[in-house]
Amino acid sequence: FNRDDKEYYIQDIPNSMAEGWMSENVPLIEIPDKTIEEIYYFRWWTYRKHIKSTGDGYVLTEFLPPVSWGGTHNTIIAPVGHHLAEGKWMKCGKTILEDYSKFWLEEKSKTYLYSTWLLHAIWEVCRHNNDYSFGVKHLDLMIRYYETMAEEHKTKSGLFWSFDSSDALEYSISGGSGNGV
């Protein structure tokens, strides 16, 4: 993958370290369909490009170049569930994922800009590692996160709502700007 990549944006793990990092931290697989196997390793090769250490601990970026809609450290909340769900398989993932989760729970960026499955993803990481200490330690932050989302997005029927553009769906089923237009 390095051979076909012109590395313009480098964060914590540059292409020159990709092979060693992946060998140490990514679960190895062997699949009869070599195309799927290649896609699996390409996804990990790409994932590590987005790991970024900051003054707020580790975060995962969605875009390598700075984007105008990005928040602190060029993060956005929309992919956090996917980042945590995939990252739970990294051998070195504990600190990275805990820092990243805490970053959002402490509202260091635009935490409520999109709907997200942050709390469920944290639960899945804890369950995967059979270590619930992060969840227990930060339960107050998770409750506050839920209560804020419920206050802003829960209907009287108990369902939550979101505009499609605030659900990372851009221009979707509404056919407009995401605000029902």
For residue range 128-181, list pLDDT tens digits in order: 999 999 999 999 999 999 999 999 889 999 998 887 777 766 665 666 555 544
Q: How many residues does the chain have?
A: 181
Q: Give which of 86, 56, 85, 49 is closest to 71, Cα–Cα.
A: 56
Q: What tens digit of pLDDT does each residue of 35-53 get?
A: 999 999 999 999 999 999 9
- Band (pLDDT 50/70/90 cuts) for residue 125 is very high
Residues 86-111 pLDDT 10s: 999 999 999 999 999 999 999 999 99
Between 115 and 155, the higher pLDDT residue: 155
Single-letter code of the amino acid located at 103: F
pTM of the predicted model as reported, rounded to 2 decimal places? 0.90
Segment 56-75, tens digit of pLDDT: 999 999 999 999 989 999 99
Helix (H) or strand (E) holding 149: helix 139-153
